Amino acid sequence: MSKSRSKRLGFWLVILALGVGMEALGQFEIIDGYVMQVIELIGINIILVASLNLINGFLGEFAIGHAGFMALGAYISAIGTVKFHLPFVVALLVGGLLTAGVAYLIGIPAFKTFGDYLAVITLGFNMIIVNLLNNIEYVGGPRGMVGLPKSTNFLWVFATTILTLVILRNLVYSNYGRVWIAIRENVIAAEMMGINVNRAKLKAFAIAGFFAGLAGALWGHMLQYINPSSFTYLKSTDMLVMLYLGGLGSLTGSVLGATLMTGLLEVLRDFGVWRMVISPLILLIIMLTRPLGLLGNREPRFVVPKEPKAAEEVSHNVPAAR
């Protein structure tokens, strides 16, 4: 077995051991419920940050209203379980898919602009979604929805997180991802290479929306209670902090950023409001010292999928130029 292959296998064994081990520790109550919830929160944040990375890191656009999609996923799935008594897995998928649909629809007008304006539009949609949720009595208005079943547990979060990361990774390292990165690198050249830039962006946006919706659904069914004020631009900013801490264009960075930041915020819980001072301060320090984040555009070798093995020598009977 080659060295890189055994490293890959080792990596997956560690992941598996992590999942099984955590679950066992939780089952035997060696880790208490509170810590378990923090661990679940880390997983949910990883899904959010990795999906945001698709837009901001790989596609190179600037979306700052991700909490809006999270809200949609949380509310749609909650309507599913509370009002229609759907099984959790169905509600989860419906939440993700409908959020993807909304993201796609929002993307159609939003991608007519780019840069700062896109940032403003995405944040605007974030605020409008929260504003609407506040005004719709069916979902409880400002009080939100209560009595969600406690369906989210460690295994659900763990499996969804790993699946999200693998799916995103396989997409990023495929024709889809190459097209996204090409758009980031030079949009005019990309369009001149026969790429329907708008359609590619919409795909990325819908995918990011899908996973943000899943994360929202998991989150709602973890806390069993959701209200509009949890999904304001402050939540979006939290995700941006994690994203930029970990680094743009790196899924490993997203995992790192979400884990470090979530953990840090928990550790700082005793500091009360100062916790909310420290987190932007950390963001500022990162930006000023490492503008690209901890792992900007870098991915460890063993998580990069292998290319298909192409024939080394291709016969060609044309003389080379010159």
Partner 1 sequence: MSYFIQQLLNALQLGSIYALIALGYTMVYGVLGLINFAHGDIFMAGAFFGFFIAVMLKLSLIPTLLLAMFLAAVLGIAIERVAYRPLRKAPRMSLIITALGVSLFLENFTRATLGGQQRSFPKLLNVQEFALGGATVTNLQILIIVVSLVLMLLLRYVVQKTMIGKAMRAVSDNKEVLALMGISLDTVVMATFGIGSALAATAGILVGMAYPVIDPYMGIAVGWKAFIAAVLGGIGLIDGALVGGLILGFVEIFAAALLPSTYRDGIAFAILIIVLLLKPTGLLGRPVVKKV
Partner 2 sequence: MSLLHAEHCSMHFKGLKAVQDFTLDLEEGELVGLIGPNGAGKTTVFNMLTGVYVPTEGKIFFQGQEITKAKAWQINQGGIARTFQNIRLFGDMTVLDNIRVALSFRIRYKMLDAVLRWSQYQKEETRVIEESMELLRLFHLDGKQHFLAKNLPYGEQRRLEIARALATKPKLLLLDEPAAGMNNKESEELMQLIRWIREHFNLTILLIEHHMPVVMGICERIKVLDFGQTIAEGTPLEIQSNKRVIEAYLGEEVED
**Binding status of residue 196 toward partner 2 by CB under 8 A:** yes
> Taking contact as CB under 8 A, which single stretch among the options 107-115, 131-139, 175-183, 265-273 is the one that binds partner 2?
175-183
- Total site size for partner 1, rule CB under 8 A: 41
> Taking contact as CB under 8 A, which single stretch among the options 205-213, 255-263, 274-282, 306-314 is the one that binds partner 1?
274-282
Amino acid identity of residue 160, one-letter, is T
Among partner 1, partner 2, none, partner that 311 touches (CB below 5 to 8 angstroms by kind): partner 2
**Binding status of residue 301 toward partner 2 by CB under 8 A:** no
Q: How far is residue 8's CA from residue 55's CA, in Å, rounded to a whole number? A: 27
Locus of tokens 């890959």? 8
Q: How far is residue 195's CA from residue 164's CA, in Å, rounded to a whole number? A: 26
The DSSP annotation for 160-180 comes to HHHHHHHHHHHHHTSHHHHHH
Locus of tokens 């609407």? 132
Three-state secondary-structure class, residue 146: strand
Closer Cβ to partner 1, 112 or 150, answer by number: 112
* CA distances to 120, 238, 286 from 226, in Å: 25, 18, 32
Three-state secondary-structure class, residue 84: coil
**Binding status of residue 97 toward partner 2 by CB under 8 A:** no
Is 50 within 8 Å of 246 (Cβ atoms)? no
> Taking contact as CB under 8 A, which single stretch among the options 1-9, 33-41, 87-95, 309-317 is the one that binds partner 2?
309-317
**Binding status of residue 229 toward partner 1 by CB under 8 A:** no
Half-sphere exposure of 152 (CA within 13 A, CB side): 31
Half-sphere exposure of 261 (CA within 13 A, CB side): 33
Closer Cβ to partner 1, 74 or 286, answer by number: 286
> Taking contact as CB under 8 A, which single stretch among the options 39-47, 91-99, 239-247, 313-321 is the one that binds partner 1?
239-247
Among partner 2, partner 1, none, partner that 85 touches (CB below 5 to 8 angstroms by kind): none
The correct pick among 291, 298, 300, 305 for binding partner 1 (CB under 8 A) is 291
Structure tokens at 54: 């698709």
Closer Cβ to partner 1, 21 or 141, answer by number: 141
Question: How many secondary structure helices (H) and strands (E) does the chain include?
Answer: 12, 2
The correct pick among 5, 7, 83, 112 for binding partner 1 (CB under 8 A) is 112
- Residues near partner 1, by CB under 8 A: 56, 62, 64, 109, 112-113, 115-117, 119-121, 124-125, 127-128, 131-132, 134-135, 188, 234, 237, 240-241, 244, 248, 272-274, 276-277, 279-281, 283-284, 287-288, 291-292
